[in-house]
Amino acid sequence: MIAKIKQGKGFGGLVSYANDIKNKDTNIIASEGVDLSSNKSIIASFNIQAKARPTLKAYVGHISLSFSPEDYRRMSDELIAEISRKYLQRMGIVNTQFVIFRHHDKAHDHVHIVYNRVDNDGNAITGDSNFKKSVAITKALTREYGLTFGKGKKNVNRERLKGKDAAKYRMYDLITEALKDCRTWNSLRQVLSKKGITMDFIHRADGSVKGISFSDGNVTFSGGRIDRSLTLGNIQKVLTDERKAVGAVENIGNKSYTENKVANGMDNAKSSSYFPSSSSLNSDNGESVSIADDESASTVNDTGETSGGMSDVVGVVTELVLQPHVVPSVGGGGGSSRSDDDDKDKKKYKPRRR
């Protein structure tokens, strides 16, 4: 079980997204103090109460709760509603309006809880973004209800995946399999290309490399979005000839060097695309290789501690979607400052200004 917490202002776009019956196969499984006649009435109900405390700018509360695909046979509307209500209660989100929308567009069961951060007495709800508290609560509820803790991507039933989830897991499988034998960026790129996967480095404005992306021709993900073990830095740790990669970058444009490498089978015509910049690969003393990888930002794990990506991509990798943890996020309109699939979908429902 995972909880993702967001705050913002403006219920319009969020409600339209959360109650998208056509694209998300949504059904409302629980609510309190809200007129459910239509999206318009839901939004109006929330807005009327929010006006009771006009000084509160981020009056929109949005929490998504996701469950393991392995529990899908058990996850009835009634059970999910019960767990969701207990989560809200333990987080101190009480005496206020809320609606729990269940989506059926992913392989894993998940709900979007939209609530008013202005309670029924006109007071602002506080403490509802306490991420460490949420970690403890999701972990406790997972145990109390006998739900499945994450066991890694290898144990996810691929047959139940569809759309972007299916593409993401396919890329994960192909990349981790390729990394068992590849020892250079060039060889990794070539192996993946034969499987229909293209690999590109993501550059900053100054030309330095900040990450890596993979595409199957239809969708593109950064390595970190596929799995934390597949960030630029973590893949670099798996490739054993890191210093050869550094040498290739340092000598780009050196005619004698490139001719020698071409003779040895290296495609130097594309070296600038294959390898990160030397500034991001070289250490000060020249003895070790490290990468300043923007994808390797720390995340919050199920103990509430921060941790980076894992270097052993061949081993079993903890699947974040299935772990009891929380992803902190604050953004306008009940949305997130972090880009993900749901956020992209919500942009379609942004109300027009009149």
pLDDT bucket at 65, cuts 50 / 70 / 90:
very high
To the nearest 10°, the Cα dihedral for 29, 34, 35, 41?
-110
Per-residue three-class SS string for 232-262:
HHHHHHHCCCHHHHHHHHHCCCCHHHHHHHH
pLDDT value, residue 73 = 84
Instruction: Tell me: pLDDT of 147 over 50.
Output: yes
Instruction: Tell me: pLDDT of 142 over 90.
Output: yes
Please state the rounded mean pLDDT for residues 38-59: 97
Please state the rounded mean pLDDT for residues 312-321: 34
pLDDT bucket at 347, cuts 50 / 70 / 90:
low
Please state the rounded mean pLDDT for residues 32-37: 97
Instruction: Tell me: pLDDT of 329 over 70.
Output: no
Q: Is 268 helix (H, G, I), strand (E, B) or coil?
A: helix
pLDDT digits (tens, 9 = 90+) for 88-129: 999 999 999 999 999 988 878 899 999 999 999 999 999 999
Comparing 298 with 123, the larger pLDDT belongs to: 123
Contact (Cβ atoms closer than 8 angstroms) between residue 91 and residue 171? no
Contact (Cβ atoms closer than 8 angstroms) between residue 18 and residue 25? no
pLDDT value, residue 188 = 95
Comparing 246 with 223, the larger pLDDT belongs to: 223
CA distance 341 to 331: 15
Instruction: Tell me: pLDDT of 352 over 80.
Output: no
pTM, entire model: 0.52
Please state the rounded mean pLDDT for residues 317-340: 40
pLDDT bucket at 148, cuts 50 / 70 / 90:
confident
pLDDT digits (tens, 9 = 90+) for 174-226: 999 999 889 899 999 999 999 999 999 999 999 899 999 999 999 999 999 99
**Sequential DSSP letters for 135-202:** HHHHHHHHHHTTPPPP--GGGS-GGG--HHHHHHHHHHHHHHHHTTT--SHHHHHHHHHHTT-EEEEE
Q: Is 299 helix (H, G, I), strand (E, B) or coil?
A: strand
Q: Hey, what are 224's tokens? A: 């970190």
pLDDT value, residue 321 = 35
Q: What's the chain's average pLDDT?
A: 75
Please state the rounded mean pLDDT for residues 56-70: 93
CA distance 74 to 80: 9
Instruction: Tell me: pLDDT of 340 over 60.
Output: no
Q: Which of 322, 323, 342, 321 is nearest to 331 (CA)?
A: 342
Strand segments (E) across the chain = 2-8, 27-32, 60-66, 98-103, 110-116, 198-203, 209-215, 220-222, 299-300, 306-307, 326-328
Q: Which residues of 71-108 are buried (b: 16+ CB within 10 A; e: fewer)?
A: beeebeeebbbebbbebbebbebeebbbbbbbbebbbb
Sign of the alpha-carbon torsion through 151, 153, 155, 161: positive
Range of weakest confidence among 69-73, 80-84, 135-139 = 69-73
pLDDT bucket at 144, cuts 50 / 70 / 90:
very high
Range of weakest confidence among 69-73, 219-223, 294-298 = 294-298
- For residue 290, the Cα-to-chain-centroid distance in whole angstroms is 25
Q: Which residues of 295-310 are buried (b: 16+ CB within 10 A; e: fewer)?
A: bbeebbbbeeeeeebb
Please state the rounded mean pLDDT for residues 79-87: 97
Instruction: Tell me: pLDDT of 320 over 90.
Output: no
Q: Cα–Cα–Cα angle for 196, 200, 202, nearest 5°?
A: 150
pLDDT value, residue 218 = 94
Please state the rounded mean pLDDT for residues 159-170: 84
Instruction: Tell me: pLDDT of 301 over 80.
Output: no
Sign of the alpha-carbon torsion through 46, 52, 55, 61: negative
pLDDT value, residue 325 = 44
Contact (Cβ atoms closer than 8 angstroms) between residue 312 and residue 154? no
Give the Å distances, CA to CA, from 180 to 156, 174, 184, 296, 310. 21, 10, 11, 21, 15
Q: What percent of the chain has pLDDT over 90?
A: 51
pLDDT value, residue 158 = 74
φ and ψ at 255, to 5 degrees?
Answer: -60, -50
Q: Is 8 helix (H, G, I), strand (E, B) or coil?
A: strand
How many Cβ atoms from other residues are within 10 Å of residue 330's Cβ?
14
Q: Which of 305, 312, 276 is nearest to 292 (CA)?
A: 276
